[in-house]
Amino acid sequence: MGELSSIVLPEGHKFLRAVPVEKQDDEAFVASYDSQTLFYDVFYDGSNNLVRMIGPDLRNLKNYFKNAILEVDGVEVQERNIVKLGPRTNEVTFSSPHPDPKHLRLFQPRTPQFEEVVEINRSNLEKFRGKNALVAISKNNDLQWIEDWLTFYSRRHGANAVVLIDNGSDAYSPEDIRQTIANVKAIEAAEVISAPFPFGPRATTRVEIGSKFLHLSMLHVAHRKYLAEANAVLSVDIDELVLGRDDETVFSAVKSTADGYMSIRGRWRYARKPEGSAKVTHADHVLQRRGADARMQPKWCLDPQGPLAGRYWRVHGISGAQRNFEHHFYYLHCRQITTSWDYARGFEDEENFEEAQDASSLRDVFEGVSSST
């Protein structure tokens, strides 16, 4: 059911992840910085008899963790492998003492002592094996937006699976999201991961970017726990819709690339302000700005069993892989599908826009969807 087994240090603990020196007087940064989480999830990967512990970069807590005692069902772990995955994520792995581990105990005897016992979750690669899967992180996005997003990808690209990481939504429950996904009958496999951890600071500087732990770490959880044996995986947000030639899907196209990997450029699309209390939808985003518009970072599609299998997934690409734009796909970044959590993305004067050439393609996909009529 997408539950996480997390290990979090108590507030005010003597040993916490240190805030970067240059940001210690920045109240907004400190409030959004995750100083307490040691590991987001602990789960057993039966494909190689490993227990995986995935969390934010340990930084100054690395020695604190290395000196802690780990036990699986009362058996002390003798060796652990700590791997730094980029600047923001650590993965700890060790061999399980038996093929059905139940509980992990972490005990740090150093004063003040810290002890946590958590259930060891299970990976479920079988559930997504051979699927065309979406992966995204979301917080408080309108449930109808989520349903329309899934409807688009199932109709246009044949998506039949999704891993949705919910970052502590308070407008609805994870079960509400599961029911929303169930409304899209084409989705055959789904996991909603409830991850109510700090997302991290608004990022404009290198220090700020390097302090946003959650998104990258949860992509790694989704990869190793669920999606490593999928047919193909598309990483896009709820406000992003991939288009291209009508005779090909992004999932089939990525399978024919040399590395099983595609980088996908984005284009802003805008909606007219709806009348009265009507709600803006993806299908309303048929306008483009007159003249040049702001550029944006690419998103990606990957064959997780291809030549780049095992590489670390990032928000805008795959670790160590050269970006591949040699294809006809691009994504529409729907400007008004937003809670404006990062910055204001309201409506503008319609004189700044014109109808986009791909407007009919978008309308065709959403034809008959009640929320967009």
pLDDT digits (tens, 9 = 90+) for 230-257: 999 999 999 999 999 988 999 999 999 9
CA atoms of 326 and 340, how far apart (whole Å):
33
Query: What is the mean pLDDT of the segment spanning 307-336?
Result: 96
Q: Is the pLDDT of residue 45 over 70?
A: yes
Q: What is the pLDDT of residue 73?
A: 98
Q: Which domains does the chain have, with CATH numbers?
A: 7-122 (2.60.40), 125-372 (3.90.550)
Instruction: With a cut of 70, say whether residue 341 has pLDDT above it.
Output: no
Q: Does the pLDDT value for residue 25 go beyond 90? A: yes
Tally Cβ neighbours within 10 Å of residue 142: 19
Residue 373 above 50 pLDDT? no
Give residue-wise pLDDT tens across range 258-268.
999 999 999 99
Share of the chain above pLDDT 70, in %: 97
d(CA 250, CA 265) in angstroms, rounded, equals 13
* 132 closest CA partner among 230, 238, 199, 34: 230
Residue 203 has pLDDT above 60, yes or no: yes
- With contact defined as beta carbons under 8 Å apart, do 271 and 336 qualify? yes
Q: What is the mean pLDDT of residues 307-328?
A: 95
Please tell me what DSSP assigns to residue 365: H
More confident site: 279 or 119: 119
Lowest mean pLDDT among 38-47, 76-85, 276-285: 276-285
Q: How far is CA 18 from CA 212, 251, 339, in A?
A: 14, 41, 30
* DSSP assigned state of 283: G
Which residues, 6+ apart, have CB-to-CB distance to 126 below 8 Å?
A: 229
Q: How far is CA 30 from the centre of its chain?
A: 23
Torsion of CA 271, 274, 278, 281, to 10 degrees: -10
Q: Residue type for 196, please?
A: P
CB contact at 8 A, 262 and 125:
no
Q: Are 70 and 94 in contact (CB under 8 A)?
A: yes
pLDDT for 178: 99
Angle between helices 359-366 and 143-157 (to 10 degrees): 100
Query: At 92, phi and psi to the nearest 5?
Result: -110, 130
Report yes or no: 250 and 316 within 8 Å, Cβ to Cβ: no
pLDDT more than 90, % of the chain: 87
Asked if residue 343 has pLDDT above 60, the reply is no
pLDDT score recorded for residue 372:
38
What single-letter amino acid sits at 100? D
* pLDDT tens digits for range 69-98: 999 999 999 999 999 998 899 999 999 999
In 3D space, the residue among 280, 238, 221, 227 whose CA is nearest the CA of residue 153 turns out to be 238
Tokens, residue 333: 């970044």
Three state DSSP letters for 328-348: CCEEEEECCCCCCCCCCCCCC
Would the pLDDT of 371 be above 90? Answer: no
In this structure, what token pair is assigned to residue 76?
Answer: 């002390």
Strand, coil or helix: 20: coil
pLDDT at 117 over 70: yes
**Residue 250, CA distances (Å) to 43, 90, 134, 234, 298 in order:** 31, 31, 11, 8, 14
| 8 A C-beta contact, residue 92 and residue 77 | no
Tokens (6 digits) for 176: 């509400």
